[in-house]
Structure 1
Amino acid sequence: MTAALPVTGLRPRAGAIARQRRRTVLIGLGLTLALVLLTALALSTGQVQLPLLESLRALVGLGDPGSVLVVQEFRAPRVLSALIAGAGLAVSGSLLQRLFRNPLASPDVVGVTGGASFGAVLMLALGASQALIPVAALGGGVLAAVLLGSFAWRSRMAVNRLVLVGLAVQSGLAAAVNLMLVRFPAELASSALQWITGSLYGRNWAELQIAGLAILLTTALVFLLHRRVAVLDLGDDSAGGLGLDPNRARVGLLLLAVVLASMAAALCGPVAFVALAVPHLVRLVAGPPTPGTLLLNALTGALLLLGSDYLVLNLLPIHGLPVGAVTATLGAPWLLVLMIRQGRPPQRSES
């Protein structure tokens, strides 16, 4: 008689996977409900208070013409921009942290949003149309990625140490933006300063059509390519053994992360810490990365950015505060904790 194969280790693993799936579904449903409620609240509150049902009717063009104007032309583009940009930043941050194998990696740390800011401010300085800002932001983000890759390639730096180079690229591009703010007219400096601090003020449908569509399509592509990210998590040798070129796959996925972060910056400016903090929060409550947790990243990023913007508009006493100031205030302690944890030596078990 042939001996039965041991299945002792398979059942606990299958049970853990099933528990994570149930937890992911429950968290996703909770986040979706919170997003629906917060979106309805954001559409109905502001300087002009509207009943909830009236604001929802105005969203589809029904009811009082004044309410339709307020909701469709002013509030809806801003709310939708916050949702899409927040989701794009969170997915980009999750992707970069896995590609760089470093929990500190995010678009605002490795220089991508700094490059997007540089491109957008340069376009404003040249007096070009607002419709070209998403293209300029993407060009600046790609420039930052090229600088990061070239420096790392020349020094043969390990992937998990690229964050240090990214910080240098981010600082250099920020210095270039500050130089433009000083040298160009005061009117330009005022509008550019409001943009680079991270703000959803004045968003319109024209900007949302370009950048928003790019974020949605790129996010869908990231979901389709999630299996490649999972293979890269195994290491370059294992990925090559499974038939995947790790360098080519990493470059392609990095480009997707750059597109997401740059287009999000085109909508809301270089909002800090959303891309850094959200993947850690999702990993803390939902477990290891899966396609389901990637969706949770998108939902959490959308909720965080929309909630921060609602806080700015309706709850804080300071009028005109950019949403980037709120996310930076919330995220700075989180970054400090991560850096302290990264600097601790690993604990050794006593024999």
Structure 2
Amino acid sequence: MTTIPSPAGTRLLRLRNLTVLVPVRAAVGCTLLAALLVVAAAAALSVGTASVGPLRSLAALVGVGDAADVLVVQRLRLPRLQAGLLVGTALGVSGCLMQTLARNRLATPGTVGIDDGATAFAVASVVGVSTSLLPSGMALVGAATAAALALALAGGAGTSGYRFVVVGLGVGAVLGAVTNLLLVRAPIDAANAAFPWAVGSLNARPALPVTLLGVGLAGCLPLAVLVGHRLTALRFPDTVAAGLGVRVRAVRLAALALAVVCAGPAVAVGGPLGLVALVAPEAARRVCGPRGVPVLSSGLAGAVLVLLADTAGRTVAAPVEVPVGLVTSIVGGPYLVWLLLSSRPRRLP
């Protein structure tokens, strides 16, 4: 039997009749990010005003140990951990798809208006229309509306990366103004109820939107990984990608749809967490290398970033809590400035 050598930096894994080509650096990078995520999750359960040691928090997680520890871990910190894990993963995946789709590292759900659209419609569901409309459902509608507007005005997804970004910024600015108008004109109680969706917070998130986000992410993540493999070919000109057998238009529409479905419910749960979708894919590329589209590692990096930011927001200025959206903006803002002031435009490799 002739042994076919694997390309440099990869390994062939054979399982019966199935052969899988695994990039070594990407596999190691995903493993490291997964380990870092475990550490961030342990810190989220252990660190806070009421300090609970790692072993005690692990015992409290399964309902064993001191009653106060069980209350703090299961009732207060575990729901935040679940929300942060899902929101960070969804935003990281969405950002990776958007950046690759537009061939531009600035193209994220925040910079092309998807976050603003989801926020505007979620706030409207609280302060402007019947309360029977769930903010998560309205956020998905708002995200799809913003994406459709940016796509139509830019002349097609991925046809011009910077044009797509600039048009998205304009759409986001308009929708952001709508959000501010709704909050200003709303009664004080309604404005207070909608405020977490406008600033970004994981505190006391309703269980139903978190569950819906988890179900949606479970369905979208495998599809996003598959679409990510196809997006690798779109780094070439469209004619070359089509020659390789890629249905260019269908792949772009699928990537955009998955980015919207991930970002909309994530914003409905955690609000517009500033620049997570910008930083997470870049961190994934640094760890896993430029080969391929790092959809899974971007999700892991996004979850790590959100959990660490939420833990820092709860503890740094305790007993005052800094919303996680402000913390992620502080972290991502300098990176965005550096990206804009780079000597030349940076495109995806």
Runs of 4+ with deviation above 4 angstroms: 342-346
Match runs of 1:295-306 below 5 Å: 295-306=296-307
- Aligned pair partner of 2:178 in 170, 176, 179: 176
Tell whether the 8 Å contact from 1:91 to 1:294 is kept in structure 2 after alignment. yes
Please identify the structure whose Cα radius of gyration is greater: 1
Structure 1: distance between partners of 2:256 and 2:25 = 29
- How far residue 196 of structure 1 moved from its aligned partner, in angstroms, is 1.0
Q: For residue 326 of structure 1, what is the aligned residue in structure 2?
A: 327
**Does residue 279 of the first structure (1) align with residue 281 of the second (2)?**
yes
- Secondary structure of 2:110 counterpart: helix
Q: Give TM-score scaled by structure 1 length.
A: 0.86
Tell whether the 8 Å contact from 2:48 to 2:311 is kept in structure 1 after alignment. no
User: Structure 1: which amino acid aligns with 2:268?
Assistant: A
- Aligned pair partner of 2:131 in 118, 128, 139: 128
- How far residue 218 of structure 1 moved from its aligned partner, in angstroms, is 1.0
CA 1:227–1:25 in 2, change beyond 3 Å: closer, same or farther?
Answer: closer
CA 1:287–1:45 in 2, change beyond 3 Å: closer, same or farther?
Answer: closer
User: Structure 2: which amino acid aligns with 1:45?
Assistant: V
Q: What is the CA deviation profile of residues 139-190 of structure 1, one whole-angstrom value per residue up to 9, with x for unaligned ones?
A: 1000101111221239x96344210000000000000001101111112222
Tell whether the 8 Å contact from 1:215 to 1:263 is kept in structure 2 after alignment. no
> Greater helix percent: which structure?
1
- Aligned pair partner of 1:185 in 184, 187, 197: 187
Q: Give TM-score scaled by structure 2 length.
A: 0.87
Match runs of 1:84-95 below 5 Å: 84-95=86-97
Match runs of 1:95-110 below 5 Å: 95-110=97-112
Tell whether the 8 Å contact from 1:78 to 1:204 is kept in structure 2 after alignment. no
Q: What is the CA deviation profile of residues 237-282 of structure 1, one whole-angstrom value per residue up to 9, with x for unaligned ones?
A: 1232233331222112101011111121112100011111121222
CA 1:271–1:55 in 2, change beyond 3 Å: closer, same or farther?
Answer: same
User: Which is worse superposed, 82-91 or 41-50?
Assistant: 41-50
Q: For residue 240 of structure 2, what is the aligned residue in structure 1?
A: 238
Aligned length: 332
User: Structure 1: which amino acid aligns with 2:296?
Assistant: L
CA 1:195–1:41 in 2, change beyond 3 Å: closer, same or farther?
Answer: same
Tell whether the 8 Å contact from 1:28 to 1:296 is kept in structure 2 after alignment. yes
User: Which is worse superposed, 35-44 or 253-262?
Assistant: 35-44
Structure 2: distance between partners of 1:185 and 1:104 = 36
- How far residue 135 of structure 1 moved from its aligned partner, in angstroms, is 0.7
Q: What is the CA deviation profile of residues 56-77 of structure 1, one whole-angstrom value per residue up to 9, with x for unaligned ones?
A: 2222233444433332232111
Match runs of 1:216-235 below 5 Å: 216-235=218-237
- How far residue 35 of structure 1 moved from its aligned partner, in angstroms, is 1.6
- Aligned pair partner of 1:45 in 44, 47, 50: 47
User: Structure 1: which amino acid aligns with 2:300?
Assistant: L
- Secondary structure of 1:53 counterpart: helix
**Does residue 56 of the first structure (1) align with residue 58 of the second (2)?**
yes
**Does residue 257 of the first structure (1) align with residue 259 of the second (2)?**
yes
User: Structure 2: which amino acid aligns with 1:170?
Assistant: G
- The runs of 5 or more residues in structure 2 that have no matched partner are 12-21
**Does residue 14 of the first structure (1) align with residue 7 of the second (2)?**
yes
CA 1:344–1:305 in 2, change beyond 3 Å: closer, same or farther?
Answer: closer
Structure 1: distance between partners of 2:318 and 2:56 = 27
Identity %: 36
**Does residue 214 of the first structure (1) align with residue 216 of the second (2)?**
yes
> Cα RMSD over matched residues?
2.6
- The runs of 5 or more residues in structure 1 that have no matched partner are 1-9, 347-351
CA 1:115–1:72 in 2, change beyond 3 Å: closer, same or farther?
Answer: same
- How far residue 288 of structure 1 moved from its aligned partner, in angstroms, is 1.4
- How far residue 322 of structure 1 moved from its aligned partner, in angstroms, is 0.8
